Structure 1
Amino acid sequence: MTDELTRWITDYGYWAVFFGTMIEGETAAFLSGIAAHNQLLSYSWTMLFAALGGIVSDNVLFLVGRFSGSRILPRFKRHQNKIARVQQLIRQRENVIIIGIRFAYGMRTVGPIIIGASKVNPLKFLVLNIFGGAIWGCGIVSIGYFVSSIVLRLPIHSYFLWAMIAIIFILLLLFWFKKKYRSSKK
């Protein structure tokens, strides 16, 4: 890493982890795990701030759903079947859904809104969300930490690693643009 990036991470690291996990969850938590492995951040503090960021953002989204869900959810016209399915699952397995929704692909943002709109008890959501957020924060940061340790053991040159990261980034961008293009055509 460059000296400037290293300095930025050490100066703002935990706040970056906290706000990063609020905005871009898994990516920020994974990258913070890499920073912890490189000893730019404390592993335990990184897990704590990642979990807190996820917990706070999910609670805010839950409250949005609780107070505005009936106005917001109908706007997702293409996703009404998925929303109805999640609402049915909430009625069947409320505790499991509250803890696990953050792990379901495509549900990171809308999941807590649906749960809030389902009139789940706020205290129950808070307690289960803390539990789920702790599992999520520790898990994703740990994955980043251990992936970093494996990658650093590989006998590759740094330019090859940067090329692989660039290729993965470009593929993710292409996937995102393709998905956005498809959704705009519907």
Structure 2
Amino acid sequence: MTEFFDFFQNLTNPEWIMENGGLYLLLFIVFAETGILLGFFLPGDPLLFITGMILANSTLPHVNSTWSLLYWILLISIAGILGNFLGYWTGKRSGSILLKRKDSFLFKKKYIVQAQEFYEKKGGGAIILARFMPIVRTFAPVVAGIVKMDLRKFSIFNIIGSFIWVGVLVTAGFLLGDNEWIKNNLEKIIFLIVLIATAPVLIKMFKGFRKKAV
């Protein structure tokens, strides 16, 4: 268990990342967080920002260039796209099994119906918005597969959402990566990123608790 927490903590350490697989490690982490249910705990947003910082501060030839930035945005976006496709496939394959299950404390069929209505109402925007919300981005493609969201529509917004998510956070890290204050206060920046990303989920949960309390 200690090794697990050490690994999780090291994921926000740029030097450790470069010494243990480099940015290619990030490709697997993004794929896992967006496509494997057990990957919901991985810190995707901070990692993308840190990736931009690594690119901005790298001493390797030609790494600190626009082309290198675009190259990694492309690779990481593809990892996120493939992860979501895996999640969609998982949901589509397991959907019939879930629908046959009896309602329990953790699972109710009405949640799937509500999710379907949500996707029909919000359309592809739900897939894009989910990219910026930890935990939600792991389960969103699975639910899309369960409710059998149109694959063509899912594919389009999956691709758009991944490029926006990766592009915004990696570019932000790249542009701010040379700032000394950012380097010296990286933990605070990571906390702020996580707080902003989780704010919509926390607000919704708080409203839900208030309604139950009334």
| CA distance 1:81–1:118, change in 2 (3 Å) | closer
The structural deviation recorded for 1:52 is 1.3
> Equivalents in 1 of 2:84, 2:76: separation in Å?
12
Q: Pairwise mapping of residues 72-151 of structure 1 onto structure 2 (< 5 A)? A: 77=106, 85-149=114-178, 151=179
Q: Structure 2: state its 5+ residue gaps.
A: 1-13, 34-41, 195-214
> Equivalents in 2 of 1:75, 1:61: separation in Å?
23
Q: Is the 8 A contact 1:66 1:116 kept in 2?
A: yes
Q: Pairwise mapping of residues 32-71 of structure 1 onto structure 2 (< 5 A)? A: 32-39=51-58, 41=63, 42-71=68-97
Please point out which of 7, 24, 27 is paired with 1:15: 24
For 2:76, what is the secondary structure of its paired residue? helix
The structural deviation recorded for 1:6 is 5.7
Q: Structure 1: state its 5+ residue gaps.
A: 173-186
Q: Is the 8 A contact 2:17 2:25 kept in 1?
A: no
> Equivalents in 1 of 2:111, 2:172: separation in Å?
29
Which amino acid in 1 is paired with 2:53? I
> Equivalents in 1 of 2:106, 2:17: separation in Å?
42
User: After the TM superposition, which segments of 4 or more aligned residues of structure 1 sit over 6 Å from their partners?
Assistant: 73-76, 78-82
| CA distance 1:43–1:111, change in 2 (3 Å) | same
| CA distance 1:118–1:103, change in 2 (3 Å) | same
> Equivalents in 1 of 2:162, 2:84: separation in Å?
9
| CA distance 1:75–1:137, change in 2 (3 Å) | farther
> Equivalents in 1 of 2:49, 2:160: separation in Å?
19
> Equivalents in 2 of 1:20, 1:133: separation in Å?
14
Query: What is the CA deviation profile of residues 81-127 of structure 1, one whole-angstrom value per residue up to 9, with x for unaligned ones?
Result: 76654432101122211232212353111111111111112232122
TM-score (norm 1): 0.67
2:38 corresponds to 1:29: no
Which amino acid in 2 is paired with 1:9? M
Aligned residues: 160
Indicate the percent of aligned positions where both proteins have the same amino acid. 25
